[in-house]
Structure 1
Amino acid sequence: MAEMHRPKYFTPKEVSLHNTIDDIWVSYLGTVYNLTPLVNEHNGDVLLRPIVECAGKDISHWFDPKTKDVQTHIDPLSGCVKYYTPRGRFVHIPPPCPRTDWANDFGRPWWSDGRYEVGLLSARTLWIQIINMLTYQEQPLEVCCEETVEEILQRYLKYNSHAGSYTWKHDCQALDMSRTLSENGVVNDDENGDFLPSVCLYFNDDLTE
């Protein structure tokens, strides 16, 4: 039986780094989207402006959590239900009045097109201190509460490319790499952030009984 594909989780900070017109991510309703292909496709279109202005940010307030569609309101002039776009009309939002020059053959609007999805936005992040017991190097790391220890290991590889050759422990107990930190009993009860829970890495060739 094939393993179910786990989504990738991102911290708000990671999303915020993609904040240019050449590399633009946003998040909404708990999902992270890479809208760079959309921006490239509509290069020069004035309707990109609200999207570009919100590059790297969460735009959940644009959408109705129940319908997953753009928020609507009753237009006071026409009495009709229309999309509510206080920052201005954006790509795939129809014009307020019928127009012959507006193409509506684009298929699914970008906000409901799964092609742009890259992962999920973490509901909560936490900082941990990873200590290499071979070199005594300490590395603070922000992680997603939904991530398994194995997925945290993947984050840590940029600091230690051999991280997979270590046994990961907390309070002298080996961690289950397929479980999250909380499932392994690693929690951060310090609301002030003065204390970071530590995860110690023991090089496998240097383990003692």
Structure 2
Amino acid sequence: MSSVHQYFLSEEERNSYEIKKYVTDDVSKEVEYFLPTEVAVHNTEIDCWISYNDMVYDLTDLCKVWANRREIKPILAYAGKDISHWFDHEKNDIKYYVHPVTGALVPYCPHGPIPDVIPSVVPCSTWRPLDKCPWWLDDKYKKGHLTKNARPCRILNVLVGVQVVIMVCEEDSISRIQERALVYNKNGKSYTWKFEGKDLNLDLTLTENGIPDERERFAACGIPDDYYIPCLMCYYNE
């Protein structure tokens, strides 16, 4: 059996200084979570977001660098979508396969070549390893996390009796939910937010405030999952 030639970054290379220097280390920045629908609206060449491995990335700058080249076409085709199936989750790298003819371990690109992937499948003396951090490992494109659970939330403005139902991330704090609801009430953050008569802790999530997502329990009982949606009460502060 022929030996396998590797055409990807080794574990040592991935952890080397050359890779790390491309990665930001701003731990003070608050982690932001996004809904799949929020990613989906960024689906053009001049505004291109994608998600993979539970993270959200803004590849707009990458699209500019690779504009009008065939390598960017697969990414544009998946703009606003999830491309986790391109990646090996354990290695946090793109998938590879053993070429049936050459026996080389080569990138698996079923939709065509993509940026920062060496296309050659034949070992040769002119081959050189990638001399920069590939885009899928470069944290400068990172926007935040893709939510693990998008859940509905009802918000009632007690002053005027108007209510809306919006989708929020399971990981959103009440403060973040307030920001999402500003489109319906620009002064919403100045209101007092309560649930069942108790003030909500703005730094905690719905679940942490004792408001779990019970849709799975409803479904198990044959009840529509929208039968009951928790309602956050917003009281105007005079």
- Under a length normalisation based on structure 2, what TM-score does the superposition of the two structures give? 0.80
Answering whether residue 92 of structure 2 is matched by residue 92 of structure 1, we say no
Answering whether residue 146 of structure 2 is matched by residue 121 of structure 1, we say yes
Written as runs of structure 1 = structure 2, the 5 A alignment for 1:142-153 is 142-153=167-178
**Structure 1 unpaired stretches of 5+:** none
Q: Counterpart of 2:87?
A: 63
Alpha-carbon distance in 1 for matches of 2:111, 2:228:
41
- Under a length normalisation based on structure 1, what TM-score does the superposition of the two structures give? 0.91
Identity of aligned residues (%): 35
Amino acid aligned to 1:72: Y
Secondary structure of 2:90's counterpart equals: coil
**Structure 1 residue 4: deviation in Å?**
4.1
Match of 2:78 among 50, 54, 61: 54
- C-alpha distance after superposition, 1:36-65 (max 9, x if no partner): 100011110111111111111111111111
RMSD over aligned Cα, in angstroms?
2.0
State whether residues 70 and 113 of structure 2, in contact with CA within 8 Å, keep that contact through their aligned partners in structure 1.
no
Indicate the larger mover: 42-51 or 191-200.
191-200
Written as runs of structure 1 = structure 2, the 5 A alignment for 1:119-198 is 119-190=144-215, 191=219, 192-198=225-231
Q: Counterpart of 2:60?
A: 36
- C-alpha distance after superposition, 1:70-116 (max 9, x if no partner): 001111010111111111111111012459799944x1110000010
Alpha-carbon distance in 2 for matches of 1:70, 1:83:
7
Secondary structure of 1:157's counterpart equals: helix
Answering whether residue 28 of structure 2 is matched by residue 8 of structure 1, we say no
Alpha-carbon distance in 2 for matches of 1:184, 1:99:
61
Q: 1:78 to 1:150 in 2, by over 3 A?
A: same
State whether residues 58 and 141 of structure 2, in contact with CA within 8 Å, keep that contact through their aligned partners in structure 1.
yes
Alpha-carbon distance in 1 for matches of 2:108, 2:28:
38
